[in-house]
Amino acid sequence: MWQVRECKCGQEKGSVLIVSLVMLLLLSLIGVAGIQTTVMQDRMAANLLDKELAFQAAEAALREGEESLESGVPISFPDSAGLYRIGADNRPDWPADLSDTGGGVTAYGGSFPGVSAQPRYYIEQIDTIPAPGCDLSSYCEPVYYRITAAGVGGSDNATAVITTVYRTR
């Protein structure tokens, strides 16, 4: 009933071990590639979030600048900090140098959480465009202003500078 088989131990060369080690190496390479892809996508998502945070901070400062003009143009315009004539030499040189404050900039009045620096803005008076109904023979109050705002994200590497032209009512 029982059969005894002869052992052929001397003829085995260990090919199963080699095949399984190659398969393990291939699976390890696939796993490492998957981890690298995941890490790269995580970094891209973090950078996008940082960029969006900088843009939203600049947008908040821009809206505050518009609200300040809506409430009335300051009497000391353009002699106050953050208020300039268009193309003035002492205005900040954004976006070339965000640390440039020129003759002074206006800091965002609220608190913008999650940013490395609070947003700032400055306003320029555009007096080359006459107000509607104004004839050029008399002095007319300009009604157009350019507002430039700068925001920084969670790190100093993410910055946004946006500009708008605003017309008072």
82-93 tens-digit pLDDT:
888 888 888 888
| DSSP 8-state secondary structure symbol assigned to residue 67 | H
**DSSP-assigned states of every residue in 4-58:** PPPP-GGG---HHHHHHHHHHHHHHHHHHHHHHHHHHHHHHHHHHHHHHHHHHHH
Q: What are phi and psi of 162, to 5 degrees?
A: -130, 155
Distance CA 88, CA 103 (A): 10
Supply 56's token pair: 């939203």
Task: Give CA–CA dist 167/130, Å, rounded.
Answer: 11
Lowest mean pLDDT among 2-6, 20-24, 29-33, 135-139: 135-139
Q: What is the pLDDT of residues 96-128, one digit of tens each?
A: 888 888 878 888 988 888 899 999 999 988 865
- pTM of the entire predicted model: 0.72
